[in-house]
Amino acid sequence: MAISLKKAEEIEKLRAANKIVAQTLEYLRNLIKPGMTTAEINKMGEDYIYSFDNAIPAFKGLYGFPAGVCTSLNEVIIHGIPDNTVIQEGDILGLDIGVKLNGFFGDAAITMGVGEISKEDQKLIDCSYQTLMYAIDTIKTGMRFKELSYKTEEFILSKGFVPLRGFCGHGIGKKPHEEPEIPNYLEGHNPKAGPKIKNGMVFCLEPMICQKEGKPKILADKWSVISEDGLRGSHYEHCVAIVNNRAEILSLS
């Protein structure tokens, strides 16, 4: 399947959806505190999204996911389901949010500390954020997606961590997930193979960071993904558009 190229007006519609995602993440980051349940956090996020005209939580019901906010706590790296778990001082919490607005999708994620966290956990969170920004800064038209994946993996390894395998970034538009798939590691041996990045492409980059083992394990709820090492992980995501030969972040508040 070909990677779609968006027109300027489509990119603006994607920007509008992503702006609500970014505002929701910021809203939750400022409100979350020890003693809340992940279900309460999800409801706050969903209610905030619904407060915008025509906006709906895109993840609710998507592929059967039961909530509007992925709440990934501690060792859960992605796809955590909100429930009655109470978050505590020293936890780290991933928030991944999608919004559908007037037929277009937005998608972004953060990992945050709950109260005071350890230096080790802060390094883990910093790795996912710094990797994301490095990858965005690296992008230029004409480079191949595999080259971007290769450079992303190199950066993660240089920080002493490893990428989660089996999950990836993705294109986005009128569907929440489009071509291409963008792993945080090189698949195969040749970074100079595969499709090139072009103006008009819109996609989500989302480094998912493990401490020792990148092999994933899916928990009994059939959604929550952890590393086989059982250690804490982190995740950050932005949606970017390629405009004038560079990556422009759409998921900003």
Residue boundaries of the structural domains of the chain: 8-249
Please name the fold of domain 8-249: Creatine Amidinohydrolase (3.90.230)
Q: pLDDT per residue over 120-177, tens digit each?
A: 999 999 999 999 999 999 999 999 999 999 999 999 999 999 999 999 999 999 999 9
**Closest C-alpha to 71, from 27, 25, 115:** 25
Distance CA 238, CA 96 (A): 10
Give the global pTM: 0.97
Q: What is the band of 11 on the pLDDT scale with cuts at 50, 70, 90? A: very high
* Alpha-carbon torsion (192, 206, 116, 232), positive or negative: negative
Rounded to whole angstroms, the Cα distance separating 206 from 201 reads 16
Which tokens is 119 given?
A: 């230096």
- Cα 132 vs. chain centroid, distance in angstroms? 9
pLDDT in the model for residue 2: 87
C-alpha span between 136 and 240 (Å, rounded): 8
Instruction: State the DSSP string of 10-77.
Output: HHHHHHHHHHHHHHHHHHHHHH--TT-BHHHHHHHHHHHHHTSTTEEETTTTGGG---SEEEEETTEE
CA geometry: angle 93, 18, 238, nearest 5 deg: 55
**Tens-place pLDDT, residues 225-249:** 999 999 999 999 999 999 999 999 9
Alpha-helical (H) ranges within 107-144 are 119-138
